[in-house]
Amino acid sequence: MNHTPDWQRIGALISDGLHITRGDKVSVFVTDGAATDAVAALVAECWRRGAVPQVVATDERFDAAALAWAEVDVLSQAPPLEVLAMKWCDVHVSFRAMTSPEVDADPARIAALRRGRGLVSTLRWERTRWALVRIPTPAWAEAAGIDPDVLLQEWARSFEADWADVKRRQGALCARLDATQRIVIADRHGRLELPVGGRTWVPFAGEANWPDGEIATAPIEDGVRGDIFFPGVFWFAGVRVRDLALTFDRGHVVKERAAEGIEFVRQMLDTDDGARRVGELGIGMNAALQTMTGDLLIDEKILGTVHIALGRAYPECGGVNASALHWDIVKDLRSPEEPGSLSADGEWLIADGEVAAPLAGASVFRSHPTP
């Protein structure tokens, strides 16, 4: 059954999460016409509240020509109108429709383009109250081999939470984890140890990203060690990556392997001095989301997944790693064939693919909602 999202309500939720009020200057980026209904709802809500929204078309279809013809040093620069928008606004919302996942271009040129966009992201983090909204499309569902209605229904249901209660429960779990010294991610492929002592865990509960629902911290920059394997396919910046494996020593990626996309992976790791370090450790908390899509902004919220982000750290977590890159890479620990585990100072958060009580009790929806 087709499930049409309530765009008006979603616009209000985004506005509430960002505390948009009279006099706020709100920049809105839109990457594809498929997001038009969502953008229109947010713009109407901003005007209703007395804020001043301005919409910038950052349609990703225009990137194809830049990737074909622009000089690499131009690709690496921050787009000037996007920079001006970030410097003008108090609040930023980016609507990113899930268009065709693959981009036909030289991976080195795509990596250069990502470096330029990363500079805009840094301004967003440093200067604005912000939210990213990822919107499913039939094109993405088809490419990922997912029923489009299933993808849209899960996405729409993921919004339908008592977010104040979610924040309270996630906040309580984060307060417990603040005393944790070490997180371990393990499966038959390897073991990754992430020291987190003295760092702060932060709940994400309807304020920064949509879909939302995760908790995150910043590992100690020079302490991450071991191996982690990300089986299967995902996309980043339009590049397909399959079966990615990373080895860390003293906080750095010292070895990287992939069945597909390895040249691009290495380009991203060489973005700058901070790109080979882990800036974020996150745990998905939204039980309405169950289907891995290959899109990082959605998959990182799925209950039963864990993710690391290479590059820039969240300052509110106590992280100090600086980079133009912030690359979330998601590991699904729920696989019946290859289950994984997640522990905090020896306490199970996920044990052999099964979500344990500490996460289950703090999750968005304590049990899977029904359609």
Q: What is the pLDDT along the chain (371 residues), one digit of tens a residue?
A: 445 788 999 999 999 999 999 999 999 999 888 899 999 999 999 999 999 999 999 987 888 899 999 999 999 999 999 999 999 999 999 999 887 666 777 888 988 998 899 899 999 989 999 999 999 888 888 888 899 999 989 998 999 899 999 999 999 999 999 999 999 999 999 999 999 999 999 999 988 789 999 999 999 999 999 999 999 999 888 889 999 999 999 999 999 999 999 999 999 999 999 999 999 999 999 999 999 998 999 999 999 999 999 999 989 999 999 998 999 999 999 988 889 999 999 999 999 999 999 999 999 987 443 34
Scanning the structure block, which residue is given the tokens 């991610």? 185
Q: Looking at residue 253, what DSSP letter applies? A: E
Q: In whole angstroms, what is the distance from residue 226 CA to residue 217 CA?
A: 19
pTM of the model: 0.90
Instruction: Give me the half-sphere count of Cα atoms (radius 13 Å) on the Cβ side of residue 62.
Output: 9
Judge whether 329 and 242 are in contact, CB under 8 Å. Answer: no
Judge whether 226 and 211 are in contact, CB under 8 Å. Answer: no
Instruction: Give me the half-sphere count of Cα atoms (radius 13 Å) on the Cβ side of residue 202.
Output: 19
**How many other C-beta atoms can be found within 10 angstroms of the C-beta atom of residue 226?**
16
What long-range pairs does 257-262 form, CB within 8 A, spacing at least 24? 260/233, 261/107
Q: In whole angstroms, what is the distance from residue 42 CA to residue 292 CA?
A: 27
The values of phi and psi at residue 80, to 5°, are -65, -40
Q: How far is CA 342 from its chain centroid?
A: 19
